[in-house]
Amino acid sequence: MRHQKVINHLGRTSSHRKSMISNMAVSLILHKRITTTTAKAKALKTFVEPLITKSKEDSTHSRRVVFGYLKDKTAVAELFRDISPKIADRPGGYTRLLKTGNRIGDNAEMCILELVDFNEAMKGGGEAVKTKTTRRRRAAKKGTTETGAKKEEKTTSAKAKTSTKAKEAPKKAAEDKALETKGEK
């Protein structure tokens, strides 16, 4: 019976598996997303999420514990400096698996493993949503494509331009008269 045998050995020796998972965790921390097989991603998820939880408390002890697993100074610094403030209020689930299909060569199931708080497109703060337009042969009328906010901005900027011109006109006229009188004398 295989009760409580939860670790996936991934067809590697213990030392090879530990170093591979550690290297993948460093890549995930530095690049915020990696592409790998689903089996490796699931094994990595169970490895890296406790480390991210440990990074919430920024102490010398927790830094040393995390460094013992990762063995990379830059990754530890990145984890404690950039990642932990963003995930401070999240109670868990720091990574996301996005399945991408099967690999061409050996038909292995592939996926993208990414840190949840660092994907701007999934949060909705990435690209601005484009307004729906229809394709027409003729050019669109001037007022149809602009939103109300843009119209207001244009009208207020046009009013500002005319008011500054109106204020400058008497000054310019006075300057012109002064120049003319100097030229005649």
User: CB of 116 within 8 A of CB of 94?
Assistant: yes
Q: Indicate whether 50 belongs to any domain.
A: yes
Domain count for the chain: 2
Higher local confidence (pLDDT), 41 or 151: 41
Give the chain's radius of gyration (CA, Å): 31
> How is residue 151 written in tokens?
């119209």
Per-residue pLDDT band for 114 (boundaries 50, 70, 90) equals very high
Looking at the structure, do residues 116 and 156 belong to the same domain, yes or no? no
Structural element, H or E, at residue 139 = none
Q: DSSP secondary structure string, 56-87?
A: TS--HHHHHHHHHHH--HHHHHHIIIIIHHHT
Range of the domain at 175: 147-185
Is residue 31 domain-shared with residue 68, that is, in the same domain?
yes
Tell me which of 144 and 102 has the higher pLDDT.
102
Over 80: is that where the pLDDT of 132 sits? no
Please list the residues that pair with 163 across neighbouring strands: none
Q: What is residue 185's predicted lDDT score, i.e. its pLDDT?
A: 46
User: Do 117 and 156 share a domain, yes or no?
Assistant: no
The angle that helices 14-31 and 38-54 make with each other, rounded to 10 degrees, is 70
Mean pLDDT of 118-136: 68
Which pTM was predicted?
0.66
At 36, list the tokens.
């790998």
What is the mean pLDDT of the segment spanning 111-136?
76
Look over the chain and give the mean of its residue pLDDT values, rounded to a whole number: 84
Average confidence (pLDDT) over 53-58: 96
Most confident range (mean pLDDT) of 14-28, 134-148, 156-170 is: 14-28
Given 108, 123, 138, the domain boundary residue is: 123
Kindly indicate the confidence band of residue 86, based on its pLDDT and cuts at 50, 70 and 90.
Answer: very high
Residue 127's pLDDT is: 54
Would you place residue 5 in the very low, low, confident or very high pLDDT band (cuts 50, 70, 90)? Answer: confident
Other residues' Cβ atoms within 10 Å of the Cβ of residue 51 = 20
Residue 109 in any domain: the answer is yes
Helix (H, G, I), strand (E, B) or coil at 23: helix
Which structure tokens are listed for 16? 């090879």
**Rounded distance between C-alpha atoms, residue 92 and residue 62, angstroms:** 17
pLDDT in tens, 57-84: 999 999 999 999 999 999 999 999 999 9
